[in-house]
A and B are shown apart, each in its own frame.
Chain A
């Protein structure tokens, strides 16, 4: 069962086809399907709002999850020509790679956030290992894409719970908030660079040309970002971080290296979504699993987290300078924090 995707591609072919598809999607992005919104200044930090489709992304399930479709938690996956427009992407997850200097393992996150940033709007999680379906659903939800999920039968109960959670917290999409522009180009390293920026919660959008409304533009081949620097995407992401400066980052997370943040919002409100990729998907440090810093002065209006108790809430809200900080308690896979801008 492949969820109705017309063909299966693997390895390098998959990579190249993804890149081509992404570039096509990017062209659509440029032509106006996804419009770059006007930049707004939040306490001196330029934040660009990337317009989103008016409706939330839709989740579809293959026949493997027909029971959940019958319960009305998702739609049945399209078939035939409709299915061909969905691009196959890998399942999100995390791998723990050995750190050669110590007896420790470094988590390596496999997120599709960079693919969505390059314009993919209709995707298919064809191969979803057991234990990953709810994360795939959460990822698609957070990045507001239409997604077909082909879950492992063992995941149906958990996936059902996640879909109920997502339905309960669905809202019309808000523009993505970013302050870095990455100028698209033909470099084969660009995908990995974008992946590392996503992984490091450096909030960016892919742009056809430098966007002066942003705090930082990243263009390979410029003096600040020489092409050869991209041969090591890890170092390159560090360079981007250094050029922007941590003080200007829209979101900082302390206490985790396996959570990806997405910030959406407008002048009056914001939604911070936290996706946990840790192996157990669980951030388990009690009421203070993660300390969050968001640029801008907000009051938390709602906290909702998959796997958290209904009483769970953010705590120790502070407003140092032009920012908002708070603890996020334990959660599993996805936490949503709605923020209201302070007058």
Chain B
């Protein structure tokens, strides 16, 4: 067996066993932070999700976003979530002038798929209305290349910072998850330091996207894989460890306690070949925002949105684990939406519910839908 054969065996070995259940890996969580009395996830409104639709919020041809519609959607969404008449009261339930707020966007698919700058800008504006200083608001991503692409700084009030782990503070040596998935040498995933040392609260602003490994990528994946490093190791193989890793990371303090609000940006979405959006044919336009404190409940609804779109397009479900739809070739799964690059794990959302992160049972989700 030569070196190439070693590597080949290493890569395809897990694929051969892909349909066999894998035991939950042995996770070691290291943190010097204690949970809040009432952790942000699932937070004040477990199981509650508000969806605000608007047929005019984005132009499907130009992808231009209507700012005033976004403002209306966020105002309605927040006040419906909390039951307050004045949206400022809704924001004040979560944030005050003493807070240092991190806005965790998703820019991994930018510019084709990202937390829209118009949505992020309106979130920052609302924060300032309840006294949060612009200098105490940080729009962030793990990677510096990703965070720069959407040009958030051109949309937000002066003073609001746009940062990544490589531009500010790096990683926290005292907060990490240690786990050996596939015999990899680097077995630690460190939390980005601004989360643990600076932020008092986090707003999670994911997109609506398919994900070749985790099935879909929503609140849970954005707040976990987007805040910790060395996470791609969980999905280098046909069979991944995303099923349990995503939820496990989301439980790590202080991430769990400080993530107090989720606003899912569904103006645009990606129904195949995510999390990127290299091919516009896989983009679609749900034209909605989802609001909640419960990431599991929002993500549970996301599964259906992505899967229904895929069904409408006549392709296999995100739940399909048949190895005949698996290909190791990127060109295969980029060209053919009936091909998977990994065995998708949308079950990561239900798994996260078992960790206490939220409500998965669709019958128990209190879902309100509005249109503006």
CB-nearest residue of chain B to A317: B173
Which stretch, A7-15, A144-152, A254-262, touches the partner chain B? A254-262
A99 in contact with B11 (CB, 8 Å): yes
With known contacts A100-B8, A234-B10, A257-B186, A318–B173 Cβ distance under 8 A: yes
**Which A residues are in CB contact (< 8 Å) with B15?**
101
Any B CB within 8 A of the CB of A268: no
CB-nearest residue of chain B to A289: B170
B166 in contact with A285 (CB, 8 Å): yes
With known contacts A232-B6, A238-B183, A253-B185, A101–B12 Cβ distance under 8 A: yes
- A277-324 residues with Cβ-Cβ distance < 8 A to B are 285-288, 291, 316, 318
Any A CB within 8 A of the CB of B7: yes
| Interface residue ranges, B against A (CB under 8 Å) | 1, 3-4, 6-12, 14-15, 166, 170-171, 173-174, 180, 183-188, 190, 229-230, 236-238, 328, 330, 341
**Which B residues are in CB contact (< 8 Å) with A246?**
180, 187
Any B CB within 8 A of the CB of A333: no
**Which B residues are in CB contact (< 8 Å) with A42?**
none
With known contacts A288-B170, A291-B190, A100–B6 Cβ distance under 8 A: no
Interface residue total, chain A, C-beta cutoff 8 A: 33
Contact with B along A96-116 (1 / 0, CB 8 A): 011111111010100000000
State in angstroms the CA–CA spacing of A325 and B174 once bound together.
10
Any B CB within 8 A of the CB of A231: yes
State in angstroms the CA–CA spacing of A256 and B170 once bound together.
16
Any B CB within 8 A of the CB of A143: no
A106 in contact with B186 (CB, 8 Å): no
State in angstroms the CA–CA spacing of A238 and B6 once bound together.
12
State in angstroms the CA–CA spacing of A97 and B166 once bound together.
28
**Which A residues are in CB contact (< 8 Å) with B236?**
99, 101-102, 104
B238 in contact with A97 (CB, 8 Å): no
B185 in contact with A286 (CB, 8 Å): no
**Which B residues are in CB contact (< 8 Å) with A97?**
3-4, 7
Any B CB within 8 A of the CB of A132: no
Q: Pick the residue among A100, A200, A231, A254 that contacts B11 (CB under 8 A).
A: A100
Question: Nearest-CB distance from B299 to chain A (Å)?
Answer: 25
Some 30 contacts from A to B, beta carbons below 8 A apart, are A97-B3, A97-B7, A98-B7, A99-B7, A99-B236, A100-B11, A101-B11, A101-B14, A101-B237, A101-B238, A101-B328, A102-B341, A231-B1, A232-B9, A233-B6, A234-B6, A234-B9, A238-B183, A246-B180, A253-B186, A254-B187, A257-B185, A257-B186, A285-B166, A285-B170, A288-B170, A288-B171, A316-B173, A318-B174, A327-B170
State in angstroms the CA–CA spacing of A285 and B190 once bound together.
13
Any B CB within 8 A of the CB of A201: yes
A327 in contact with B12 (CB, 8 Å): no
**Which A residues are in CB contact (< 8 Å) with B4?**
97
A254 in contact with B188 (CB, 8 Å): yes
B6 in contact with A102 (CB, 8 Å): no
B328 in contact with A100 (CB, 8 Å): yes
Question: Nearest-CB distance from A244 to chain B (Å)?
Answer: 13
Main secondary structure of the interface of A (DSSP, over half): mixed
With known contacts A286-B170, A287-B170, A288-B171, A102–B185 Cβ distance under 8 A: no
A200 in contact with B185 (CB, 8 Å): yes
> Which 9 pairs between the two chains have the least Cβ-Cβ distance?
A101-B11, A103-B330, A234-B6, A316-B173, A288-B170, A254-B188, A238-B183, A100-B11, A99-B11
CB-nearest residue of chain B to A99: B11
- A24-68 residues with Cβ-Cβ distance < 8 A to B are none
**Which B residues are in CB contact (< 8 Å) with A102?**
11, 236-237, 328, 330, 341
Question: Nearest-CB distance from B179 to chain A (Å)?
Answer: 11
Q: Pick the residue among A103, A232, A325 that contacts B1 (CB under 8 A).
A: A232
**Which B residues are in CB contact (< 8 Å) with A327?**
170, 173
CB-nearest residue of chain A to B11: A101
Question: Nearest-CB distance from A20 to chain B (Å)?
Answer: 22
Known pairs A97-B7, A100-B11, A234-B9 / 12 extra A-B pairs, C-beta < 8 Å? A100-B328, A101-B237, A103-B330, A104-B236, A108-B7, A201-B185, A246-B187, A254-B190, A254-B230, A256-B186, A285-B166, A288-B170
- A199-238 residues with Cβ-Cβ distance < 8 A to B are 200-201, 231-234, 238
A100 in contact with B185 (CB, 8 Å): no
**Which A residues are in CB contact (< 8 Å) with B12?**
100-101
- A86-129 residues with Cβ-Cβ distance < 8 A to B are 97-104, 106, 108
**Which B residues are in CB contact (< 8 Å) with A106?**
7
**Which A residues are in CB contact (< 8 Å) with B230?**
254-255
CB-nearest residue of chain A to B3: A108
Q: Which of B170, B173, B236, B328 has the most CB of A within 10 A?
A: B173
CB-nearest residue of chain B to A108: B3
A286 in contact with B166 (CB, 8 Å): yes
**Which A residues are in CB contact (< 8 Å) with B238?**
101
Q: Which of A103, A233, A257 has the most CB of B within 10 A?
A: A103
- A165-211 residues with Cβ-Cβ distance < 8 A to B are 200-201
State in angstroms the CA–CA spacing of A103 and B7 once bound together.
13
State in angstroms the CA–CA spacing of A61 and B190 once bound together.
43
**Which A residues are in CB contact (< 8 Å) with B180?**
246
**Which A residues are in CB contact (< 8 Å) with B3?**
97, 108
Question: Nearest-CB distance from B169 to chain A (Å)?
Answer: 9
State in angstroms the CA–CA spacing of A288 and B14 once bound together.
32
Question: Nearest-CB distance from A90 to chain B (Å)?
Answer: 14
**Which A residues are in CB contact (< 8 Å) with B183?**
238, 241
**Which B residues are in CB contact (< 8 Å) with A325?**
173
State in angstroms the CA–CA spacing of A276 and B330 once bound together.
30
CB-nearest residue of chain A to B326: A101
State in angstroms the CA–CA spacing of A145 and B9 once bound together.
35
State in angstroms the CA–CA spacing of A231 and B1 once bound together.
7
CB-nearest residue of chain B to A237: B183
Question: Nearest-CB distance from A331 to chain B (Å)?
Answer: 16
**Which A residues are in CB contact (< 8 Å) with B186?**
253-257
CB-nearest residue of chain B to A192: B3
State in angstroms the CA–CA spacing of A201 and B9 once bound together.
22
Q: Which of B14, B171, B187 has the most CB of A within 10 A?
A: B171
